[in-house]
A and B are shown apart, each in its own frame.
Chain A
Amino acid sequence: MGGYVIRRLLISIPVLFLVTFLVFTLIEIAPGDVVDYFISPESMQYTTEADIQRLRERTGLDQPFLVRYGNWLGHLAQGDLGYSFVESKPVSDLIVEHMKNTLPLMGLAWVMGIVIGITLGVFVGLRQYSVWDFSLTGFSFLGLSIPAFISGILGLYIFSVRLGWFPAGGMRTAGGEGSVWDSLYHLILPASTLALMDIARNMRYMRFSMLEVLNQDYITTARAKGLRPRLINYRHAMRNALLPVVTVVGLSLPQLVAGAVFIETIYSWRGMGTLYLNAVSGRDYPVIMGVNLVFAVMVLAANLLTDIAYSMVDPRVRFED
């Protein structure tokens, strides 16, 4: 066990370094640098080449690429992600501030995906070729094909504009005292639309996995010795069918992040997605770098945890190379 975890960790380290290098290089290629932000258009005519040169020296921009990358890594290791060009706040503060709003959204969507998706998957897996199976499998196909920006808009249009069940975006009622219930009320619709793809995918995998397990010899054996069907379905079949789904659940993070960018935009949610999108349209490179890094680290960590969790529930993995 310990050996497997260490081996798996060692693989992640070069990937992490390559990720930081890629992020740094990308921004390096970008036209313009921090000096352009220092010089306002009004002061442009008074600025000489020598002034710019001095500024570049002071900000360390005149140093070679690899030296700057090293410096940047050093700051990064201390949690220093630099300053936003636009908001003149440390990038790390901005990220923490927006992450507080994104985590409930992505977290709820993730949990909904697991609970609803797996429940439905088991339900239809036990009823192959029934009406339920056809309609829910059809739904899962739709759920897998519909992108977050369409499901988000349709959700907003149907449940908020037409039916009036939910507020049309925002995180709390304007002027309200901001109770937990109010926040939850605002959270449900965005989280549900974000969860749609996860629900569909988890259901599809769970159904497939259930069908496969139900064909195994040990299920036939359990049936032959006269065990109660409930016991066979839930104790024998479901538990084993859950194994491969662990991986799917753990690897859904990138999609969730991508979906959150659209859902947050549509529902005016002040989370990481909106922060990132504003940074992208404002060419606020330090924020772009910071958000990219945070997301990449989150994905790497999720992959790592998934592999470890999988090796824990399925010991066979640890022994193969």
Chain B
Amino acid sequence: MTEHIESMTNNSVPVVNLEANARIETPTQIAWRRFRRHRLAFISLIVLVIITVMAIGAPLFTQYNPDEMSLRDRALAPSSTHWLGTDNLGRDMWSRTVYGGRVSLEVGLAAAGISTVIGVILGAISGYYGRWVDMVIMRITDVVMTFPPIIIMLTVAAIAGTGLLNVILIIGGLRWPATTRLVRGQYLSLKNQEFVLAARTMGLPDWIIITRHILPSVMAPLMANVTFAVSAAILAEAGLSFLGMGIPLPTPTWGNIMENARSLTILQDKPWMWMPAAAATLLTVLCINFVGDGLRDALDPQQQMS
């Protein structure tokens, strides 16, 4: 019985500090305060906001059209007129990098969104209903996980064709098993808790219990998972485009800009044609991963560091 009361109080939302001036914080406020204390994660978040703003407002930060070729200005080294130089077709590299970020972020967010939705739905059903439903979904998950991610993505890209929408669907459609497993595990352990039993006793339909009662408790671990899914999707797009099976030129993405480096002369003598894209990808992914780490720590209920 005491255990029962304890779990009830743990789930009651406001944390009341009785000793001091009885300040009441919502869980979001607690998480935000903890997150800010994670210095690296906080700085990363600011960097990400800057990158996102630049990607959205790309025309404001560039003076050249990223697709505009100029035969007179081919393969120029960085200068005051072309900050990051130009490529072999005379296109401004700074513009291509900024506009490339637009596409890369777009793909990352959209694909992570798709894989998260699929993962949550399958994971929730699998974990909540258990038995044969769980068996079937888990075996499918096993099968998808048996293929190394980039391998199966390349296969589907070879069959379905490349292009922005296809790349988003391919990455989103193949990246869900990790989320499914995470969500399933959460549902498995939560479905036997008293609050679920109470909801069931009250005769609530399953889908209400799944979405309104259990899902909020899954949100914390899911948030960190979503951020990692975004960085994984950005890397998957960059990888596919780098191999020439992703988003085709002339649309710039960080991945297909880096494809330049596959030519040894460019790699050797014209680092401005691939380094900015590599640096931008790495910076973005590092920042997202730091934010994910910070989120995981901030949202972890096990960590009772107030």
Enumerate chain A interface residues (CB-CB to B < 8 A).
Answer: 14-15, 18-19, 22, 26-27, 29-31, 141-142, 144-150, 153-154, 156-157, 161, 168, 253-255, 257-258, 261-262, 265-266, 276-277, 280-281, 283, 288, 291-292, 295-296, 299-300, 303
B227 at the A interface (CB under 8 A): no
Q: Which residues of B contact A153 (CB under 8 A)?
A: 258, 261, 267, 274, 278
CB atoms of A22 and B285 under 8 A apart: no
Per-residue contact bits, chain B 137-171, to A (CB 8 Å; 1 contact, 0 not)? 00110110111111110111111000000000000
Extra inter-chain contacts (18) besides given A19-B147, A295-B147, CB under 8 Å: A15-B139, A145-B285, A150-B258, A150-B281, A150-B282, A153-B267, A157-B267, A253-B148, A257-B151, A261-B243, A265-B243, A277-B243, A280-B157, A292-B152, A292-B155, A296-B146, A299-B148, A300-B146
Known: A147-B235, A265-B262, A277-B243. A296 touches B147 (CB 8 A): yes
Interface SS of A by simple majority: helix
CB atoms of A291 and B139 under 8 A apart: no
Which of these, B142, B154, B282, contacts A280 with CB under 8 Å?
A: B154
Enumerate chain B interface residues (CB-CB to A < 8 A).
Answer: 139-140, 142-143, 145-152, 154-159, 231, 235, 238-239, 242-245, 258, 261-262, 264, 267-268, 271, 274, 278, 281-282, 285-286, 289-290
For the complex, what is the distance from the CA of A14 to the CA of B142, rounded to whole Å?
10
Minimal Cβ-Cβ distance residue in B for A253: B148
Which of these, A15, A30, A145, A156, contacts B286 with CB under 8 Å?
A: A145
Q: Which residues of B contact A257 (CB under 8 A)?
A: 148, 151
Known: A145-B286, A147-B239, A149-B238. A299 touches B146 (CB 8 A): yes
Minimal Cβ-Cβ distance residue in A for B284: A145
Interface SS of B by simple majority: helix
Q: Which residues of B contact A15 (CB under 8 A)?
A: 139, 142-143, 146
29 A-B residue pairs with Cβ-Cβ distance under 8 Å, sorted by A, are A15-B146, A18-B142, A18-B143, A26-B156, A29-B159, A30-B158, A141-B289, A145-B282, A147-B285, A149-B239, A149-B242, A153-B258, A153-B261, A153-B278, A257-B151, A258-B150, A262-B150, A262-B243, A265-B262, A280-B154, A280-B158, A280-B245, A288-B155, A292-B151, A295-B147, A295-B148, A296-B147, A299-B146, A303-B146
For the complex, what is the distance from the CA of A18 to the CA of B145, rounded to whole Å?
12
Q: Which residues of A contact B290 (CB under 8 A)?
A: 141
Q: Which residues of A contact B245 (CB under 8 A)?
A: 280-281
